[in-house]
Amino acid sequence: MINIKTMLIDGMPLIGTGEPFSVINPATEDIICQCNMASTEQLDQAVAAAKRAYSTWRQTPDAERKRLLHEIADHLEQHADELASIIVQEQGKPLALAQIEVGAAVGWTRYTAELDIPEQVFENSDTRYTTAHRKPLGVVASITPWNWPLMIAIWHIMPALRAGNTVVSKPSGLTPLNTLRLVQIINEVLPKGVVNVVLGEADIGNAISRHIDINKVIFTGSTPTGQRILSNSANTLKRLTLELGGNDAAIVLPDTDINQVAESIFNTAFLNMGQTCAAIKRLYVHESQYEEMGKALADLASQQVVGNGLNPATTFGPVQNARQYRLVSELVEDARRNGGHIICGGEASSEPGYFYPPTIVSNVSKGVRLVDEEQFGPVLPLISYSEIDEAVRMANSCEYGLGGSVWGSDLELAEMVACQLECGTVWINKHAEVLPHIPFGGCKLSGVGVEFGVEGLLEYTQLQVINRHK
């Protein structure tokens, strides 16, 4: 059992007075913590605390805010082993990957600490001097998913703080413990009320997005929930950043050296057991190399050691929760029924735990659920094409637009193809690489706004123009 069940509101540990719920270890299906959701009154308390803290936090000098963010990074480093262990137990990923997640959380905190808002002068003429002032927004609510729970919480909280906002965080009820611990650690450094955390699911989520005293919601999660937040926020006209679902296509150009790209394709399709927003979710391969690619990926799949993430030999953990596990099984069965060929995997384990092996399915195309829907799990459909234009058309024939990639040695051709893809980021000979200095966000149903870099930081600010006449 992990004994971290208290929310933190105005620096005070509090047990939720709402519905009880259990946190499950996906590798064993054991209950590892019993928690309670917040009541709406407790959410109101958290928002009121954040609003009070805002009046001083917004005035805190820039240099001091930077220093405090670095101090938080120091504390996270001191607690790195503990945080990684919590992540493995509630999220399921192998320990080495959880350690990478904690390392990235520290790195992102330090990078964000050093980010500055550039000065902007619109006009400096004989008649006027017009400049941009970027002010914090007030109380920012962060709502996070269960796949990279710590890293995504950091992605939300750190730029909000850097820009002078205060925060109410609401983690996924499936993986709340690392965020509860994170906020405790943050509160060792920051004044009370600057960062608060509440537990809850849709009810608290709805109350957050309707709350009059919350000025922005930064949300990472599924598209239907993002749409709900958008409509709930209409009355208060909140600022929103919505990082939503994806169904990323990767196109392997003809004559690509399959041996050279297969491992990188495998690793980015199955990153975090495929539970990554910008993982490769559809792989388009030229008909002349279709079989070769299937074999190369199946070979890599066979090298994975599936098991409990706490076992050092494990390279492939369970799916995080029963619902996602059922969806993956269902999509594979549906593909099988519709003529899909299971090159490897395709059978769920009968042992306890939500284990599903890395699965590659060929002989599928648009119209099969595995291709059309976001699987968000360890199964990759391989789709054959004969003309590059056809591959681009198929890649774009999707309601999502998060990431995409083009693979091949002809970099000019790859770039031409990349420019035709309808998505927020296109990688060439890579996929799923997100970096703290490079903006990341989706188009179409994958979201609104960006995170990271200066563009990401500006989303936590309100532009005010000062127009001085001379």
Type of residue found at 247 = N
* End-to-end Cα, the chain, rounded Å: 67
Stretch near ligand NAD under the rule CB under 6 A, chosen from 132-140, 222-230, 385-393, 455-463: 222-230
The least distance separating ligand NAD from the CB of residue 323, rounded to whole angstroms, comes to: 8
Residue 113 interacts with ligand NAD (CB under 6 A): yes or no: no
Residue 305 sits at the vertex; the CA angle it makes with 301 and 307, to the nearest 5 degrees, is: 125
State yes or no: residue 210 binds ligand NAD (CB under 6 A): no
423 is a catalytic site residue: no
Choose which of 143, 161, 252, 391 interacts with ligand NAD (CB under 6 A).
143
Q: Taking CB under 6 A as the rule, does residue 201 contact ligand NAD?
A: yes
Instruction: Identify the active-site residue in 33, 277, 398, 423.
Output: 277
Cα separation, 457 vs 238, in Å, equals 17
- Cβ proximity of 355 and 93 under 8 Å: no
Residue of minimal CB distance from ligand NAD? 205
Instruction: Quote the CA–CA distance of 455 and 136 in Å, as a whole number.
Output: 14
Question: Any contact of residue 173 with ligand NAD (CB under 6 A)?
Answer: yes
**Is 277 in the active site?**
yes
From the CB of 234, what's the least distance to ligand NAD, in Å? 13
Catalytic residue among 243, 373, 451, 459: 243
Q: What letter does residue 451 receive in the DSSP assignment?
A: B
Other CB atoms closer than 10 Å to residue 347's CB: what's the count? 11
442 binds ligand NAD (CB under 6 A): yes
Q: Does 145 bind ligand NAD (CB under 6 A)?
A: yes
Q: Any idea which residue has 């308390």 for tokens?
A: 45
- Whole-number Å distance between alpha carbons of 284 and 300: 18
Answer yes or no whether residue 384 interacts with ligand NAD by CB under 6 A: no
Confirm or reject binding of residue 248 to ligand NAD (CB under 6 A).
Answer: no
CB 164 within 8 A of CB 216: no
Establish if 243 lies at the interface with ligand NAD (CB under 6 A): yes
Is residue 374 near ligand NAD by the rule CB under 6 A? yes
Interface with ligand NAD, residue 246, by CB under 6 A: yes
Question: From CA 116, how far away is CA 272, in angstroms rounded?
Answer: 32
Q: Which is nearer to ligand NAD, 307 or 373 (CB)?
A: 373
CB 446 within 8 A of CB 423: yes
- Estimate to the nearest angstrom the gap between the alpha carbon of 323 and the chain centroid: 18
Binding flag, residue 447, ligand NAD (CB under 6 A) = yes
SS3 of 53-75: the string is: HHHHHCCCCHHHHHHHHHHHHHH
| DSSP per-residue string spanning 174-222 | TS-HHHHHHHHHHHTTSPTTSEEE---SHHHHHHHHH-TT--EEEEES-
Asked if 202 interacts with ligand NAD (CB under 6 A), we say yes
| Of residues 18 and 307, the one with the C-beta less far from ligand NAD | 18
Verify binding: residue 273, ligand NAD, rule CB under 6 A.
no
# residues contacting ligand NAD (CB under 6 A): 29
Q: Which residues are the active-site residues?
A: 243, 277
- Name the site residues for ligand NAD (rule: CB under 6 A): 143-147, 170, 172-173, 201-202, 205-206, 209, 220-222, 225, 228-229, 243-246, 277, 374, 376, 402, 442, 447
